[in-house]
Chains A and B, each alone.
Chain A
Amino acid sequence: MTSELPGPLLVIEDLHVSVGDREILRGVDLTIQEGETHVLLGPNGGGKSTLLNTIVGMPGYRVTGGRILFKGVDLADLEIDERARMGIGIAFQRPPAVRGVRLRQMLEVAARGEVAEDAIARLDEELNLGHMLERDVNMGFSGGEAKRSEMAQLLAQMPDLALFDEPESGVDLDNIAVVGGAMNALLKGEARISERTRAGLIITHTGHILEFVNADVAHVLYSGRLACKGNPLDLIEEISSHGYDACVECKLCQTLS
């Protein structure tokens, strides 16, 4: 779905988020334009998943300051499902198992209606879903199966902004390629930026997924703030040789105000 709206797809301004009594995000600013793919790096506990869950609208993530605009609309008063229908989708790192609800039904929910058999067949071919379609979603799925199932749901939903929480964690190399291929298909990673409209925000620790997905810019979320941004591959290399603490001080990063 091409958005006709001018301006950025997602604007996050001075976002403060608390979980329980603890402030996790302490003033995050981030702008994502249509067609851009951003990467979110940072140490465990730095707030990466908190940021994604807050954009999605999960309860328990309390916005104490700042705001999130999606397509120019403040998300503050919108429920999870309203945000999803506006075009925000997420692939969870560890999605919950739902007894009695089959993956095929989840695809229908995501596509908002019946999914044509040939569309299912294409998803099956791309993601090797096979017998998973008729199984209760995430019930006894292996790590790779869960990720493929999440990707299938996103491909059925085709959100304008896709959020990926560690798409390569707990997945073997073959599955990373499959998941990465699907992410690429979703984000149309091979087209030029000017021709793309869907945007992505990817949490990754290892950067392996970037062998399959072209990302435009990476950010380091450190102590509740976006400490720096830069070229994704450069940043990952810097972090893997010097660690996050050194990275946020380094010259490669364009320190944000």
Chain B
Amino acid sequence: MPDTQLSPGAIARLEEIRIAAESAIDKQAALGPDVDITRFKTVSEQQKIETLESLQKQVKETVIHSGFMADESDRSASYFQMDRTPIYERVQKAFDDAIEITSTEDALRLWPEEMIEKYWWRAVMPDKDKYTALVALHQTEGYFIRVKAGRKVEKPIQACLFVSESNVSQNVHNIIIVEDGAEANVITGCNVHVDVKEGLHAGISEFYVGKGAKLTFTMVHNWAADFSVRPRTGVVVDDDGVYINNYVLLTPVKSIQAFPVAKLVGKRSTAVFNSIVYGLKDSIIDLGSEAQLIGEGSRSEAVARTVSMDQSTVYSRGRLIGRTNDCKAHLDCRGIVQSAESTQWAIPDLASEGAPGAELSHEAAISPIAAEEIYYLMTRGLPKDEAVSMITRGFVNIDIPGLPDVLRKQIDKAIEETSKEAM
């Protein structure tokens, strides 16, 4: 935490955050099953490492499933947090003057006044619910990424939040700033060690997309079957800024509930949410997104594809709120239920608040793969299971910009496996 040289204004603001958080520490979230946060101890300290190659083989193999490359090939910068410790932070030489990557607590130490004034709990409220309160009061680091004005970094920046112990909560606070005219492609993976059973990941993410800037943010979740996950994300997009959010969940989880909010305050700002979700085992998955269309000419699109198996329950939500006359947004969520014991909800939600010119629309559908489509592919010589997997792959094959190849292959593999089970 920052030292004593803080301005009175900054001190007052930190105090405000603390008081707000304390008031909300028992406040249940509006959505998702309630998690007893008192059951978990905070994650432990770990040793720093010199190179990612020195990570345990098993860890490397786990994180690669979320697109994290231990050899840092085709990556511009890396952040690796093990439990509560940022064990590795590095910017590749070519991008030294373009990217800053560190832990959020270090960022707060380095630039306290700027952080507190502009970015610290500005896009997510600390008293939203018990999970935001938990992070505000017992933060265990998180990543800070800043891409400097005008710098267009095509190579992905990778961040990994890893949990190696059971019965702990990892309470991270992440901040990404893409300054005016800059571009960044961030891939984050959240993973747990194969031996980890129960636990909680509470992750606050605050993203700031500057004027004419672009942030492509891809998040892959790779949790354990007894893990509870409560991310809270707020994104603020300035004039002509573009925010693209890609989310992929292919493994079982006890429960996850997330509802990222993009505030399109800038003129002609854009937010796009793409998600591919597989509901497996008895996972309870409650995901959605909200776009607040505030700036004149703002646009948003949300595309969700969900396939649910086993005894899983999946909620696919989407909310569009038009607050300016010149705005346009569309939701497209489709689901396939592949098990008689699985439940899916598609819940689109549109509002025009004092904006008679707002154009908001949605398409939501839950339906099986049509038998005639399967037979059609079979008449060309494809066996039934391959026909089902090809159609399912097509179903989730939404155009996701910036999705790494390794993820595309991972998605294909999951489809292949689940299609065989569904036969």
Contact = CB atoms under 8 A, between A and B. Distances in A.
Interface of A: 56, 58-59, 79-81, 84-85, 89-90, 92, 95-96, 98-101, 105-106, 109-110, 112, 136, 153, 157
A136 B394 CA distance: 9
Contact of A100 (B380, B381, B387, B393): B393
Nearest to A95: B376
Contacts of B379: 56, 80-81, 84, 89-90, 92
Contacts of A98: 373, 376-377, 391, 394
A59 B371 CA distance: 10
B378 interface: yes
A136 B387 CA distance: 15
Nearest to B398: A100
A89 B382 CA distance: 12
A101 B375 contact: no
Contacts of B395: 99-100
Interface residue SS majority, chain B: helix
A100 B397 contact: yes
B376 A109 contact: no
A106 B380 contact: yes
Contacts of A109: 377, 380-382, 390
List 7 tightest A-B contacts by C-beta distance, closest first: A100-B394, A84-B381, A80-B378, A81-B378, A110-B380, A101-B394, A109-B380
B319 to A, nearest CB: 25
Of B370, B380, B382, B394, most A-chain CB atoms within 10 Å: B380
Contact of A81 (B370, B371, B381, B391): B381
A213 to B, nearest CB: 21
Interface residues of B, number: 22
Contacts of A79: 378, 383-384
Given A59-B371, A109-B381, A110-B380, 5 more contacts: A81-B384, A89-B379, A98-B377, A101-B390, A109-B382
Contacts of A80: 375, 378-379
Nearest to A110: B380
Contacts of A92: 376, 379
A100 B370 CA distance: 13
Interface in B376-423: 376-384, 387, 390-391, 393-397
Contacts of A157: 380-381
A58 B375 contact: yes
Contact of A110 (B381, B384, B394, B397): B381
Interface in B321-374: 370-373
Given A101-B394, A136-B394, A96 B372 contact: yes
Contacts of A95: 376
A80 B372 CA distance: 12
Contacts of B382: 81, 109
